[in-house]
Amino acid sequence: MLKINKLNKKFKDFNIRNLSLDITKGDYFVILGKSGAGKSLVLEMIAGLVQPDSGAIFLDDIDLTKKKIQDRKVGLVFQDFAIFPHLTVRNNIAYSLKAKHESKQIISEKVLRFAKESNVEHLLNRYPSKLSGGEKQRVALARTLANNPDCLLLDEPLSSLDIQLKEELRELLRAINKRGITIIHVTHDYEEAIALANNVAVMHNGEIVQSGEIHEVFQNPKNEFVARFTGVKNFFEAEIINRNQAKLNNKVTFQIPVQTKPIEKAKILIESKHIIISPNKIESSATNSFQGKITKVIEIPFGFELIVDIGIPLAVLITKESKEKYNFKARENAWVSFKASEVKIIL
């Protein structure tokens, strides 16, 4: 378990203030925040690259705060990968093993194992200048994993990758996490949090604004900043039952964009602003149309948010004028509809 206790760090124009976090062993924890929120700095303090002014960091009850960088058992994957340009992929992955004076045979075995896991075994003799962004990211991961960290720190690991590579790397990160390695992943992208996190913390101006289980944070934002930043409430685990249909909670079936490759499970996401609510069923090109009961009407700065139970709770945004015009109230029935193309599949 990683425990961060009241961490403070002062810079000229930026402060980390009283930052505390509890991350359970084996968790996939995402720290969400805009650029400049201080996310990367938190990782660098955990890794020991930056010393906090006060506060403490414990990993499995061992105080890391004053420990040397080399003795912390945390592996940091930098946003820009920090691959050593003068070493081949093989020597990059072997770097920590050589530093620990492992035997040649063990180095060779481990390099191959971690290269295979990260799918870079065909690149072992290449120099980093000949690698793509995705390949560099995988090499950085393999190199860090070869050092056998108890906790993996990922600084915006997917930000420079295209969609296809993002999906592949997410799969790899899930597999690494399944092996029992605690992962702390910082990002500005809420979709990454939805795709990977068990727990999240939202960070703003050097402070943790809200943290907890991902659904809890996204569906019950503590304040307007979190609500605006997390931005989306309608995301669900879904079973992809065929190329263009997904089943949610074993209850509701959504029409989804046609999938070109076979998928069994995925997270699906529909932004509230793309859902139309009406008192009666309306004829339209939207292939998803459900009757449900309005369970909550919440006033928000730019209108109202209605939660409609269609077997799953669906958040819908409407303006004040629409609410007055159609007189939507809690406990009344309504119809919601949205296009299949607005359903986003996150792998």
Partner 1 sequence: MKRISFSKLIFIFLGGVILLFIIAPLISMTMATSSTSLFETATDKEVLNSIWLTLRVAFLTTLFFALGSIPLAYVFARYNFPLKKLFTGLIDLPIVIPHSAAGIAVLGFISRDSTIGGIASTFGLDFVGHPIGIGLAMAYVSVPFLINAARDGFEAVPERLEKAALNLSASSARVFFTISLPLASRSIISGLIMMFARGMSEFGAVIIVAYHPMITPVLIFERFGSFGLKYARPVSVIFIAVCLVFFIGLRLIIKNKHDAKD
Closest to partner 1 by CB, 74 or 246: 74
Q: Does 310 bind partner 1 (CB under 8 A)?
A: no
Least separation in angstroms between CB 48 and partner 1:
8
Residue number, 30 or 83, with CB nearest to partner 1:
83
Q: Using the rule CB under 8 A, is 184 a contact of partner 1?
A: no
Residue 17 tokens, joined: 């203030």
Give the residues across from 318 on adjacent strands: 304
Name the minimum Å distance from CB 261 to partner 1. Answer: 35
Site for partner 1 in 98-137 (CB under 8 A): 99-100, 127, 129
CB of 245 to partner 1, least distance (A): 46
Applying CB under 8 A, the span of 41-49, 247-255, 283-291, 292-300 interacting with partner 1 comes to 41-49
Give the residue with the Cβ less far from partner 1, 69 or 282.
Answer: 69
Minimal CA–CA distance to 82: which of 97, 70, 91, 92?
92
Q: Which pair of structure tokens corresponds to residue 287?
A: 């292939």
Among 90, 143, 185, 344, indicate the residue that binds partner 1 (CB under 8 A).
Answer: 143
Alpha carbon 203 to chain centroid, angstroms: 13
Work out the angle between the directed axes of helices 133-145 and 163-178 (0-180°, nearest 10).
Answer: 10
CB of 59 to partner 1, least distance (A): 14
Q: How far is the CB of 148 from partner 1 (least distance, A)?
A: 9
Token digits for 159? 């930000």
Positions 71 through 100 that interact with partner 1 (CB under 8 A)? 74-76, 78, 80, 82, 84-86, 95-96, 99-100
Q: In b/e form, how buried is each residue of 209-226, taking b as 16+ CB within 10 angstroms?
A: bbbeebeebbbebeeeeb
N-to-C CA span, the chain:
27
Q: Return d(Cα 212, Cα 190) in angstroms, integer.
A: 14
Identity (one letter) of the amino acid at 85?
P
d(CA 206, CA 227): 18
Cβ-based nearer residue to partner 1, 33 or 48: 48
* Full DSSP string of 174-219: HHHHHTT-EEEEEES-HHHHHHH-SEEEEEETTEEEEEEEHHHHHH
| Minimum CB–partner distance for residue 129 and partner 1 (Å) | 6
69 binding partner 1? (CB under 8 A): yes
Q: Is 273 in the site for partner 1 (CB under 8 A)?
A: no
Report the interface residues with partner 1, using CB under 8 A: 47-49, 69-70, 74-76, 78, 80, 82, 84-86, 95-96, 99-100, 127, 129, 143-144, 147
